[in-house]
Amino acid sequence: MENNEKDCTDQYFECTSECDVNDKECEDACVEELKECDIPEPDWREEYKAYTSSRYELDLLENGPKSLSQSWMMGALHNKWKKIKGIKDPEPPDVSSSLQEWEESIKKYEQ
């Protein structure tokens, strides 16, 4: 890191390294500290202004959406910004199952 400030992950690992191996309370306190940690989010609207010259898009980025269709456009602009920055949304978990898997899971309750 360029500056001397620690990010939330560093703070969490430092906190847990001070806990005893079986000290659940200490680990829980570190998790709570991590939840409260302020993670700065980039101002994507300001950054995206450098990538567009459209007056409509610039006005939308400055003043925000005023209608449903403008909010859709704002979402599209946000997705373009994420693509430019190389930010990928995580893949959704595979929650599919087969009938065979379901029947096997039921067998343990039938006994």
**pTM here?**
0.52
CB proximity list for 48: less than 8 A, separation 6 or greater: 57, 61, 77, 78, 80, 81, 84
pLDDT at 20: 85
Let me know the angle formed at the C-alpha of 71 by 39 and 87, rounded to the nearest 5 degrees. Answer: 40
pLDDT, greater one: 54 or 24 = 54
pLDDT tens digits, one per residue of 48-70: 999 999 999 999 999 999 999 99
Q: What is the DSSP letter of 21?
A: T
pLDDT at 35: 80
Judged against a pLDDT cut of 80, whether residue 19 lies above it is answered with yes
Judged against a pLDDT cut of 60, whether residue 81 lies above it is answered with yes
CA–CA separation, 42 and 10 (whole Å): 19
Q: How confident is the model at residue 40 (pLDDT cuts 50, 70, 90)?
A: low
